[in-house]
Amino acid sequence: MSKKGVMGDFSVQPRTANTGATIWTVACDVDDLAPDRPLGIRLAETAICLVRTAGEVFAVHDECTHGAVPLSDGEVDGCTIECWLHGSRFDLRSGEALGPPATEPVRTFPVRVISGVVSVDIG
Ligand code: FES
């Protein structure tokens, strides 16, 4: 079933595929995130890499799709993060792998910031 035309709604109020419920998990205060410095955390057994950059907060799976090392040990450049081991770069907005050796995208998660509190929908 196509979701074309409603994806914008999901980016504002994401819903899980199975229940339709929005599940926000509090991650940290936004002030805990230094600009352009990735932070690796675990939320409900899921490794998350949080990045505050370009006036937004992004969350991606904290595991490079090439070699399963933490992306939170990598470097941020604009809205991308570079894996420290072999240099693959990922788009923080889409998860797309922008350069080899990684070819698979990294999973991204919806983020909201309310009153300085960062929450992630880990689905
Ligand atoms: S482990 Fe990340 S690019 Fe190889």
Q: Tell me the CA–centroid distance for residue 3 and ligand 1, in Å.
A: 32
Residue 17 has pLDDT above 80, yes or no: no
Q: What is the average per-residue pLDDT within 4-20?
A: 37
Residues 6+ apart with CB under 8 A from 84: 69, 73, 74, 75
Q: Give residue 109's identity as a one-letter amino acid code.
A: F
Q: Is the pLDDT of residue 25 over 90?
A: yes
Quick check: 18 pLDDT over 60? no
Rounded to an integer, what distance in angstroms lies between the CA atom of residue 18 and that of residue 63? 25
- Atom number, ligand 1, closest to the C-alpha of residue 102: 3
pLDDT single digits (tens) 28-80? 999 999 999 999 999 999 999 999 999 999 999 999 999 999 999 999 999 99
Q: Are 95 and 107 in contact (CB under 8 A)?
A: yes
Average pLDDT, the chain: 86
Distances (CA, A) of 64 to 18, 79, 81, 105, 113: 26, 16, 10, 9, 25
C-alpha 65 to ligand 1 mean position (Å): 7
- Residue 117's identity, in one-letter code, is V
What local confidence, expressed as pLDDT, does residue 20 receive? 61
Residues with Cβ within 6 A of ligand 1?
Answer: 64, 66-67, 69, 83, 85-86, 88, 101-102
Check: CB of residue 82 under 8 Å from CB of residue 88.
yes
User: How much distance in Å is there from the Cα of 22 to the middle of ligand 1?
Assistant: 32
- For domain 24-120, the CATH architecture is 3-layer Sandwich (2.102)
Where do the structural domains in the chain lie, given as residue ranges?
24-120
